[in-house]
A and B are shown apart, each in its own frame.
Chain A
Amino acid sequence: METSPEHPHPTHPPVDTDTNWWFLLFMAFVLVAITWLGIINFTEAKKTEVAKSNGEAWVEWLTEQGTKRFEADYKIEACKGGVKTSDDAAKSDAPVLGTWGACLDYIMKNTDLKNQSNAFFNKPPQLIEKCIPTDFSTTGAIVIEDLKPTPPGSAIPFVGSQLIDTDSIDYKMQLRVSVCDKGGYAIKVAEFEF
């Protein structure tokens, strides 16, 4: 093939103006701004990670107790399995043995879980019914749900409902722990037996 090499350099002289410096300054500003925004995002994501680790700590404690709370020599009476609540006790204001209220009361007074902190608000994480994206006060909160099996043939195998103080815990329970992220959406941490 016959070719004629063409010099790639421009024929017109280059024009260097102050625009270059403005552009470089602007790019430096963009770089700093993005780094700053990236750090903000990272910090916020870290708070969600703290919420997740809070949830994981709950899962760890409840799973561990779940393996032994039906044993005869189980020491934590408030969370012991197989304890039936009496009608008289249920009428009193104090937490009743054999209910979630008593177990929760024990957890919040005697375990490390009481020292947890919601990184979004720097205060202990609240246990709530469900995460609400429009309500930012739920950010970083923990949701513990009791998963109840649905009748055979149902489209979904479980229905989750919030554990309330008067709920009996005398049986092997299937629980789900979730935490609410920065946007108020639920992040499932784990499903386990208690």
Chain B
Amino acid sequence: MSTSKEKDQFLKNLNVEELLGRQEVEANISKDLPMRKWLYAWLLDPNIPGNYQKSLDKWISLLIIANLFSLMFEHVPAVFEPNQLKFEIFDIFSVIVFTIEFVLRLYLAPEDEEFKARKHARLAFMKSPFAIIDFLAIAPFYLQFLGVPLDLRILRFLRLLRILKLFRIIIPAIAEFKELNKGRSFRQKVHALVFPSPFGGTAQVIFEVCIAVWVLLSVLAVILESVHSINYVLAMQFVVLDAVAVGIFTIEFFMRIYASPEEPGFKGAVAGRFKQFRSPSTFIDFLAILPFFLEIFLHHLIDLRFLRVFRLARLLKLTRGNDATATLFRVIKREWPMISSAAFIMMLLVVLTASLGYLFEHEAQAEKFDNIPNAIYWAVITLASVGYGDISPVTPIGRAMTTIMALVGIGIFAIPAALMASAFSDELAKERDALKANLFAILKDGHIDEKEALLIRSEAKRLHLTIEEVNALIENAVKEHELEERNPWPVHKIAENPELAVEHFKALLGQIRQLGVHTDRGEFERLAADKHHLSEHELDLWHKIQNKSS
């Protein structure tokens, strides 16, 4: 760290909220602006942080997606016919929102950077592709309202065009992606799109969101397929949805495999890709699509209906962006010797309880304790404190044994849970310590660059740290810096570096000399000689050092 003053100033200026990207930016828009400018600044200007432009885009996007689903369900008579009024109300609501949006954009067009320079800004806006799409999204409704006869299929097709409104978000994201990836290879671009990296930008976020939405949709479909009344009506829709989901996941899977050599630690066209394939997240991706292909190709040979349940494994795809699962696996791996020991004791206890149960109860109730495997079921249910009560001991000795075993079981069965809980908490503490160490190193030069800020941001997100917690960690790191400045390094650390050791020796000699200057030399020598505090050699060395200084 440069100087104490600079350091203090740096820490004073450090804004953790901004560093973590969680700052609530307040839009700086003057109230004195003319109405049109003011409205544009609040609602549509993409360059003013903190205004409502992003929120407006988000809600309009959600409404577009809801319209798509509404259009899809209109083709299902069993859903549409009883709810026709609700569908119509939703359509009217959507058209009202889209009309307000269209009129607003038309009114504010003279403020838009793209059109303000034109002679007739609004006319230029009307001729722009986005405005045409917006117009097409609402025009069929008004034409129908005015009595123009329109074929239902054409009407639905025109309504389907509403999805094109999403281009308002997608096109800027593509432009940003192109800019970020200028001069990069095709594989690097694919990598930037599918793996989180500084090159991904909004396009990568949209890609992740799209995959997550399809995961949720396909899992929801699997769950609803099990409801007979729903599956009976929507069977075809579920088939189409599954095929589309598998299509998307398969393309994503191959994109990840193709681009994996760009990932750090996955170098090599074949070895890197094979390593990527073996990684848990990619293997989950593979499992997500496998049932579809197996069912298609092998359903004539074996009954593969059970594989459909494995489509629920797609939910695991959502763990890709969440490090908690990886932490859990790390904890299990670390604590495996203890967990396996506990499992072994549990197994012993279960077998022992079951055998004793069989021994004591078989005579009294042969139909329930007819063999040891059945008794094992009873033992597990008893020891795990589940206690269904379908099998229970009736003999006095059997009951006595069960009482003891149940009490022991509470302790033994709780061990793995306690182990896991404490190991998980240890792991989190370790990770926080690692972040603290990182912060310690980062703050050393009194400067946080983009890369370091990115690291702090991603680590804080991964460890679910609040702004206050990051603040506390930074304060800790700063205190440790101060301590380090006050207290020199331990001797064994200095000894590791001979150059440092020489410097340290010189500093020590200087301190001894200073001691000789400031103390009463006669009294020092008398005490050292009389009480045998110093040996002859030590006293001789003292003289040599002091003589040199004098």
Contact = CB atoms under 8 A, between A and B. Distances in A.
A8 interface: yes
Contact of B254 (A26, A38, A42, A52): A26
A38 B14 CA distance: 55
Interface stretch (A28-36, A99-107, A144-152, A160-168): A28-36
Contacts of A48: 235
A34 B450 contact: no
B185 A6 contact: no
A40 B243 CA distance: 10
A10 B13 CA distance: 31
Contact of B250 (A34, A41, A46, A182): A34
Contacts of A9: 182-184
Contacts of B19: 1
A1 B447 CA distance: 8
A10 B189 CA distance: 12
Given A8-B180, A183-B299, A37 B243 contact: yes
A37 B453 CA distance: 47
Contacts of B524: none
B277 interface: no
Interface string B175-187: 0000010111111
Contact-residue size bin, chain A (C-beta under 8 Å from the other chain): 35 or more
A52 B10 contact: no
A150 to B, nearest CB: 21
Interface in B196-213: 198-199
Contacts of B451: 6
A42 B232 contact: no
A194 interface: no
A23 B258 contact: yes
Given A10-B183, A14-B183, A2 B448 contact: yes
Interface string A41-66: 11001101100100000000000000
A120 interface: no
Contact of B187 (A19, A42, A45): A19
B525 interface: no
Given A38-B247, A40-B296, A183-B303, A1 B184 contact: no
Taking chain B's interface residues, is the majority helix, strand, or loop, or is none over half, making it mixed? helix
B355 interface: no
A109 B308 CA distance: 41
A16 B236 contact: no
Of A34, A41, A49, which is in contact with the most chain B CB atoms at under 10 Å from its CB?
Answer: A34
A37 B250 CA distance: 13
Interface string B278-310: 000000000000001100100110010100000
Contacts, number: 100
A8 B204 CA distance: 15
Contacts of A19: 187, 269
A23 B187 CA distance: 10
A52 B300 CA distance: 21
A4 B15 CA distance: 15
B540 interface: no
Interface string B223-262: 0000010001001100110111011001100110010000
Contacts of B243: 34, 37-38, 41-42
A51 B132 CA distance: 45
A135 to B, nearest CB: 11
B32 interface: no
Contact of B450 (A5, A23, A38, A45): A5
Contacts of B449: 3-4, 6
A159 interface: no
B110 to A, nearest CB: 34
B251 A1 contact: no
A49 B303 CA distance: 20
A174 B133 CA distance: 56
Contact of A37 (B10, B228, B235, B296): B296
A82 interface: no
A46 B157 CA distance: 23
Contacts of B185: 14-16, 20
Given A34-B250, A183-B305, A49 B182 contact: no
Contacts of A14: 183-185, 188
B184 A10 contact: yes
A27 to B, nearest CB: 6
A34 B246 contact: yes
Given A1-B19, A6-B449, A30 B254 contact: yes
B420 to A, nearest CB: 39
Interface of A: 1-6, 8-10, 14-16, 19-20, 23, 26-27, 30-31, 34-35, 37-38, 40-42, 45-46, 48-49, 52, 133-134, 136, 182-183, 185, 187-188
Interface of B: 10, 13-15, 18-19, 180, 182-188, 198-199, 228, 232, 235-236, 239-240, 242-244, 246-247, 250-251, 254-255, 258, 269, 292-293, 296, 299-300, 303, 305, 446-451, 453
Given A8-B180, A37-B243, 12 more contacts: A2-B10, A14-B183, A16-B186, A38-B246, A41-B242, A42-B236, A45-B236, A46-B236, A136-B300, A182-B299, A183-B303, A187-B232
